[in-house]
Chain A
Amino acid sequence: MQKSLYIDANKCTGCLQCEMACSYENYGMFNLSKSRIKVFNFEHEGRKVPYTCTQCADAWCMTACPVDAIRIDAATGAKIVHEDVCVGCKVCTIACPFGTINYVADSGKVQKCDLCGGDPACATACPTGAITYVDADWTGLDKMRQWAAKTDTQPRASA
């Protein structure tokens, strides 16, 4: 079964546990600047939104990479940066429509979410269920269900 990260921003409180979990998983330290998931704060709207790579089926970063450093993990479907191949040209960062693959000056390579091999640390750490790891075919269906429930409130055609 293919799984996918699913983000419900309405549940995010901005605690940044996800960012710390990500940096700990990948770098063995707590370091927000190294996190591959980012929580954005829209102060005047009172909204916090976690955002990371959605692992496009047809991944533009992968297509754009001139050295084939980005490859698919067959088990998880994650598009994974192979650091030993990456030359740090950053073309993928231009190709990605969502900005979720990023250059890291320290290493001279790019980094992106790799789904932690199928057990994403961010989803495990999230205390509110804003970040979940769900059956990929179910993505969006919770929202669909919520809207379906609201159809009851529509005016009914009279007989």
Chain B
Amino acid sequence: MGWTRKILRVDLTNGQCKSEPLNMQWAQQYLGQRGLATKYFVEEVDPKVDPLAPANKLIMATGPLTGTMASTGGRYSVITKGPLTGAIACSNSGGYFGAELKMAGWDMIIFEGRSPKPVHLSIENDKAELKDASHLWGKTTWDTEEIIKKTHQDPQTRVASIGRAGENGVLYACVVNDLHRAAGRSGVGTVMGSKNLKAVAVRGTAGVSGIKDFKAFMAATVAAKKVLADHPVTGAGLPKYGTQVLMNVINEMGALPTRNSQDVQFEGARDISGEAMHEKRPTDGKANLVTNAACFGCTIACGRVSQVDQNHFSVVNSPKYWGASGGLEYENAWSLGAANGVNDLDALTVANYICNEDGMDPITFGATVGAVMELFTMGVLSKEQLGMESPFGSAQALIDFAHMTAEGRGFGKELGLGSKRLTEKYGHPELSMTVKSQEFPAYDPRGIQGIGLAYATSNRGACHLRGYTVASEVFGIPVKTDPLATEGKADLVKAFQDATGAFDSSGLCVFTTFAWTLADLQTQVDTACEGTWTMEKLNELGERIWNMERLFNNAAGFTAKDDDLPPRLKTEPAKTGPAKGLVSGVEKMLPEYYKARGWDAQGVPSKDTLARLGL
């Protein structure tokens, strides 16, 4: 119950699809989605595998609450070994695709091998087959979705696909579903491209009926929705401003990484904020924001739908960008904006469209552009090499780079490597704002200390979604901690990481945790899923997942020295704001964290810890 109990295994090398029963013993230990799919992955894949080799696998997994009336119950995750990082990759997406997959009757899809030619997987309930995709290769995710819907003669078909970035080997390509929702990070789309798998199209009319106690589940979901509606963040702030509610707040805190983290406050933050998206442009009298939008089942609706001025330089000759489309989230507004010093809201919006359209992670892309702009400013990279003047603040360079990277043209090929490989190539690895080769997102660890530890220890490389201590350090959720202090942050990071593991394995969205605690998740999981699901069991499950991912990374070759932040954050103090004079205290927090985790000084889980978690 909760699960469909069915896995679809797709052998791309031989073009075969087969159904197999879900391992229900594992489901009790790992729940679903991130946890359960990672369990399958680590059991089946050699940690040393080349991420782009056929021996790597890629799993798309729903959770037991995906496709139900639980608020935000539309999530799915993509699990693989990431080509950007070489670590376990697990990227989570909303939209409607995940729920459709579940309603078609599948808990997850495991892709193996490599197809000899471009294919797409077509699923209609229990029927699944690989179909030719040579006519889709070279197309954007937007065109791919449109063509598939026309071919299937079914507008209700949901599509997850890669764009040209995934085909061209951009190391941070996404899987994009429903036009502008993405399993965004670590290059999960690049792996899909390496397998010649262009898209997955799903139509599910079987529905979700396997709920342990429907009546109790409905009561639990109603109560949990009320908690979301009554909370100021999930009930008011996120619907009105989206995650962009953060831009001015984080800038005020002096924790907005600016111009490749040279500064911690951006003078143009106001221009690219959630508030600015509501304001009418002087040029055409219209606001950037058209409306907010929800993913499947979501009663928060933080999604942004935007429209840019048709006369903006970036779209004046491109009518395809004139309509409404997925707008800026906070991370993207930061990475495409503050990280490069660009304060042109419409330019950022269009750069974000390009990332959606061709399937690129805007965090890594934008942060890589930031590093390139710094190299340009230093004179390491020239106008001739780049194809244009590329100083900080150049909206023109941002837009051109986005097109060039997506299409694999000119210097775009190098931008597609990410900042780690690119800055190494030009002799300045210290300018890459990464952990485990993945760019960190929109919170500066000098101004918010706990998040720095979360970046350093994230199993998928730098990330805010693996332990969002910002909730505590900025918003006081569930308790307020001092953002500038390092004391107590090791335990805080661990607590957030473990709880997040449970949410990421359920089919629900981690944004609910602004209002929900694990107790709100527990009532919904326990009424939907067979077995007994206590708070302790869910918390332990999160810790088990974390350690399982860690073991995979250690076996892949990662060590304690990879749990570190870029030198700039440890040696160049914040210049302005409340954190002025501070550097990150990650080196102090890390040993405390290892201890809290029950790991040795090298970051290896102890035998006792593993035994306690049943690993």
Tell me the A residues contacting B by CB distance below 8 Å: 13-17, 20-21, 23-24, 27-34, 43-48, 125, 127-128
Contact = CB atoms under 8 A, between A and B. Distances in A.
B323 A33 contact: no
A31 B324 contact: no
B225 A43 contact: no
Interface string B286-307: 0000111111111101010101
Nearest to A45: B324
Contacts of B305: 46
A48 B239 CA distance: 15
A127 B235 CA distance: 10
A29 B296 contact: no
B68 interface: yes
Interface stretch (B131-139, B192-200, B205-213): B205-213
Contact of B207 (A33, A47, A127, A128): A33
9 smallest A-B Cβ distances: which pairs? A31-B207, A44-B323, A46-B324, A15-B294, A46-B290, A29-B209, A13-B294, A33-B205, A13-B301
10 contacts: A14-B293, A17-B299, A29-B209, A30-B207, A31-B207, A32-B156, A33-B205, A47-B291, A48-B293, A127-B229
A30 B218 contact: no
Contact of A24 (B69, B301, B324): B69
A16 B207 CA distance: 14
Nearest to B299: A127
B561 to A, nearest CB: 45
Contacts of A125: 69
Given A28-B209, A46-B305, A46-B307, A16 B297 contact: yes
B293 A13 contact: yes
Q: Choose among A14, A27, A28, A125 the residue with the greatest number of B CB atoms under 10 Å from its CB.
A: A14
Interface in B249-299: 290-299
Contacts of A24: 69, 214, 218
B207 A27 contact: yes
B142 to A, nearest CB: 10
Interface in B283-340: 290-299, 301, 303, 305, 307, 323-325
Contacts of B205: 31, 33-34
Contacts of A44: 323-325
Contacts, number: 86
Contacts of B324: 43-46
Interface of B: 67-69, 71, 96, 99, 103, 156, 179, 204-209, 214, 218, 225, 229, 239, 290-299, 301, 303, 305, 307, 323-325
A48 B178 CA distance: 14
A28 B214 contact: yes
Contact of A17 (B69, B96, B293): B69
Contact of B208 (A29, A43, A47): A29
A43 B96 CA distance: 14
B323 A30 contact: no
Contacts of B296: 15-16
A16 B99 CA distance: 11
Given A15-B298, A31-B205, 17 more contacts: A13-B239, A13-B294, A15-B297, A15-B301, A16-B296, A16-B297, A17-B69, A17-B297, A20-B297, A27-B207, A29-B209, A30-B68, A31-B103, A31-B206, A44-B325, A48-B293, A127-B229
Contacts of B207: 23, 27, 29-34
Contacts of A28: 209, 214
A142 B553 CA distance: 59
Nearest to A15: B294
Contacts of B218: 24
A16 B208 CA distance: 14
A128 B297 CA distance: 12
A14 B294 contact: yes
B28 to A, nearest CB: 23
B151 to A, nearest CB: 18
Nearest to A125: B69
A98 B45 CA distance: 53
A21 B69 contact: yes
Contact of B291 (A16, A46, A127): A46
